[in-house]
Amino acid sequence: MGYRPTIGLEIHVELSTASKMFCGCPNHFGDPPNSNVCPVCLGMPGVLPTMNRQAYEYAVLMGLALNCRIATFTKWDRKGYYYPDLPKNYQISQYDLPLSSNGYIDLLVNGQTKRIGITRAHLEEDAGKNVHDLPGCTGVDLNRAGVPLLEIVSEPDMNSVPEVMAYARSMRQLVRYLNISQANMQQGHMRFEPNISLWVFDDAEPDGGHYTPIVEVKNLNSFRSLERTVAFEIDRQAGQWQADPDGYRMDKMSKQNRGWDDVREVTVYQRHKEEADEYRYFPEPDLLPVEIDDAWLGRIKAQLPELPIARYARFRKEFGLDEKLTTLLTSERGTADYFEAVVQAGASPHRAANLIQSQGLRLANERGTDVAGLGISAERLAGLCKLADEDKVSATTAAGIFQAMLESDDPPEKIAQDRNLMQVSDTSALEAIVAEVLSENGKAVADYKSGGKKAKKARSFILGQVMQRSKGQANPKVAGELIDRKVLGQT
């Protein structure tokens, strides 16, 4: 007997519009409680919602990126449930006519492509926040109430923790590529709800088997908790099934809701509320339907950038970069754009990739920005790359110059000159230094000449002395050749 995890994921993504979904309040995180609110998002008597065009177009863009069918006609529905953070006690959402459906996303998992089906993606309004750590009461902050929220529902096509994580990370990468969400986990821009069950089968008859009861875990707001939840549930369900192979089956038990306990790192059973599924959906009478024609859809389509997976493949092919470096460079659209601009400006792809990876990403990370946000134009970085490509500066020096460029607007060449970092490749200037070093280190010269065990070490020592005396400016390749010639008489 064996089992295969079967996992679907629901993801909620807050869209980064300027204003909320149905009113003009700022869509902004971190402001004092109840300061980004108006009569509409407070659910005051008499108010009416109005649709945010940008939010709709963002949602359609995502639908296109997920290869979905975009509905030419959609409407809005009210989903009724009572909760303090839901001001109208109904949520404006899309029920039977989501704006996009039947799509897919391709993931790279361990070098393999895996296709995950997208059931639907629809737009709705976010709820506010209940704050539970106040003395004696729960506080309600409605700043987030009405923020546009994209709900993306996958097919249960994932079969392992790595696949779930690849899917979740790809979604974050995608919304960032599309520039429709900051997808900042700390600010709650992305929330996950996995549905997990196991397909239990007999190895002899892999087609005949059964599912364990589906477990849905709500409201996970970090990759870490998603990863641990899914891993925990797979183990837990496997244990349950082993303990009770005939009873722990989907056809004998109903779906279960569980919550993730972040402290104990376990999922805990949540009582299924009797009314949980009684949402009393009906068409929202305060809003009109949306009809999208080819021209409008075309305009949105034109905004689609090259998507991460396509860009990855192109970078590998076009620039001959390895997997790791390509993954890094294509992880964010800004990095990939920057890299391409540097190459466009004349840098060799490998040099540019290495400098961006070793210096750019590290420095950007330290400064809390992205590579393009460091303030070094692609042209200037290409200039630095060329200096290194032409052996005018060493790789180590280039790294130093990269840092110096953060503080100075000078061209990289000038920085190198001002700081005496240009390599000395001029043999006449080096010859004097080499002669000096050789005359002062007779033993090492002898060791080198002897060609014995110590020769290699002796040569390194001599070169080190030359480098030191040149204050590091000697081109080590040229200096080495000079030494060889002088000592061994080679040319």
Partner 1 sequence: MELHCLSIHQLAAELAKGQVSSCQATEHLFERIERHDPVIHGYLELQQDAAIAQADRIDKRRNDGETLGPLAGVPLAIKDNICVSHGRTTCASKILGNFQSPYDAHVIEALNAADAVILGKTNLDEFAMGASTENSGFGLTRNPWNPETVPGGSSGGSAAVVAADLAYAALGSDTGGSIRQPAAFCSVVGLKPTYGRVSRYGLVAFGSSLDQIGPIAKTVPDAALLLAAIASHDRRDSTSAELEVGDYLAEIERPVKPLRIGVASEYFGPGLDKEIAQAVRRALDLYESLGAEIVELSMPLNKYALAVYYIVATAEASSNLARYDGVRYGYRDRDSKDHIDMYSASRAHGFGAEVKRRIMLGTYTLSAGYYDAYYLKALKVRTLIKQDFDKAFEQVDCIAGPVTPTPPFKLGEKIDDPLTLYLSDVYTVMANLTGLPAISIPCGFSSAGLPIGLQLTTKAFSEELLLRIARMFEQATDYHQRKPKLQS
Partner 2 sequence: MPAKIDPDQVRRIARLARINLTQEELEQFSNQLSDILNYVDQLSELNTEGVEPTTGPLKISNVFRQDQAARSLSSEQALANAPCRHGDFFAVPKVLE
The H-or-E segment that residue 5 falls in is strand 2-14
> Quick one: 474 exposed, middle or buried, by C-beta within 10 A (0-12, 13-18, 19+)?
buried
What whole-number distance in Å separates Cα of residue 237 and Cα of residue 365?
A: 39
36 scored as a contact of partner 2 (CB under 8 A): yes
422 scored as a contact of partner 1 (CB under 8 A): no
- Nearest partner of 272 among 231, 215, 229, 221, judged by Cα: 215
Q: How far is the CB of 274 from partner 2 (least distance, A)?
A: 8
Instruction: Specify whether the CB–CB gap between 290 and 75 falls below 8 A.
Output: yes
Residue 319 C-alpha from the chain's centroid: 22
Q: What is the dihedral of CA 362, 364, 367, 368, to 10 degrees?
A: -110
Instruction: Specify whether the CB–CB gap between 333 and 177 falls below 8 A.
Output: yes
Q: How far is the CB of 129 from partner 2 (least distance, A)?
A: 9
30 scored as a contact of partner 1 (CB under 8 A): no
- The piece of 17-25, 159-167, 238-246, 380-388 that touches partner 2 (CB under 8 A) is 17-25
Nearer to partner 1, 51 or 297 (CB): 51
**Residue 265 CA: distances (Å) to CA of 187, 255, 325:** 22, 21, 34
| Residue 90 binds: one of partner 1, partner 2, none (C-beta under 5 to 8 A by kind) | partner 1
> Quick one: 445 exposed, middle or buried, by C-beta within 10 A (0-12, 13-18, 19+)?
buried
Instruction: Specify whether the CB–CB gap between 213 and 253 falls below 8 A.
Output: yes
Instruction: Specify whether the CB–CB gap between 241 and 3 falls below 8 A.
Output: yes
146 scored as a contact of partner 1 (CB under 8 A): no
209 scored as a contact of partner 1 (CB under 8 A): no
Q: Looking at 96, 134, 277, 453, which residue binds partner 2 (CB under 8 A)? A: 134
Q: How far is the CB of 221 from partner 2 (least distance, A)?
A: 14
Phi, psi of 51 (to 5 degrees): -75, 135
Q: How far is the CB of 139 from partner 2 (least distance, A)?
A: 3
229 scored as a contact of partner 2 (CB under 8 A): no
320 scored as a contact of partner 1 (CB under 8 A): no
30 scored as a contact of partner 2 (CB under 8 A): no
What whole-number distance in Å separates Cα of residue 415 and Cα of residue 405?
A: 8
Q: Looking at 283, 320, 373, 452, which residue binds partner 2 (CB under 8 A)? A: 283
| Residue 472 binds: one of partner 2, partner 1, none (C-beta under 5 to 8 A by kind) | none
| Residue 231 binds: one of partner 1, partner 2, none (C-beta under 5 to 8 A by kind) | none
Q: How far is the CB of 282 from partner 2 (least distance, A)?
A: 8
Q: How far apart are the first and last CA of the chain?
A: 72
Per CB under 8 A, contacts with partner 1 among 90-119 are 90
Q: How far is the CB of 148 from partner 2 (least distance, A)?
A: 9
Per CB under 8 A, contacts with partner 1 among 52-91 are 78, 80, 82, 84, 87-90
> Quick one: 73 exposed, middle or buried, by C-beta within 10 A (0-12, 13-18, 19+)?
exposed
26 scored as a contact of partner 2 (CB under 8 A): yes
Q: Looking at 5, 8, 12, 56, which residue binds partner 2 (CB under 8 A)? A: 56
406 scored as a contact of partner 2 (CB under 8 A): no
What whole-number distance in Å separates Cα of residue 432 and Cα of residue 470?
A: 11
- The piece of 35-43, 206-214, 328-336, 407-415 that touches partner 1 (CB under 8 A) is 35-43
What amino acid occupies position 489? G
Q: Looking at 2, 139, 206, 239, which residue binds partner 2 (CB under 8 A)? A: 139
93 scored as a contact of partner 2 (CB under 8 A): no
What whole-number distance in Å separates Cα of residue 292 and Cα of residue 115?
A: 28
Q: Looking at 30, 32, 45, 298, which residue binds partner 1 (CB under 8 A)? A: 45
Q: How far is the CB of 29 from partner 2 (least distance, A)?
A: 13
43 scored as a contact of partner 2 (CB under 8 A): no
What whole-number distance in Å separates Cα of residue 57 and Cα of residue 27?
A: 16
54 scored as a contact of partner 2 (CB under 8 A): yes
Partners of 304 in the β-ladder:
none
What amino acid occupies position 407? E
- The piece of 25-33, 37-45, 237-245, 436-444 that touches partner 1 (CB under 8 A) is 37-45
Instruction: Say how many residues touch partner 1, by CB under 8 A.
Output: 31
The site for partner 2 (CB under 8 A) is made up of 17-19, 23-28, 32-39, 42, 50-56, 73, 75, 82, 84, 89, 130-132, 134, 136-142, 259, 274-275, 278, 280, 283, 285, 287-291
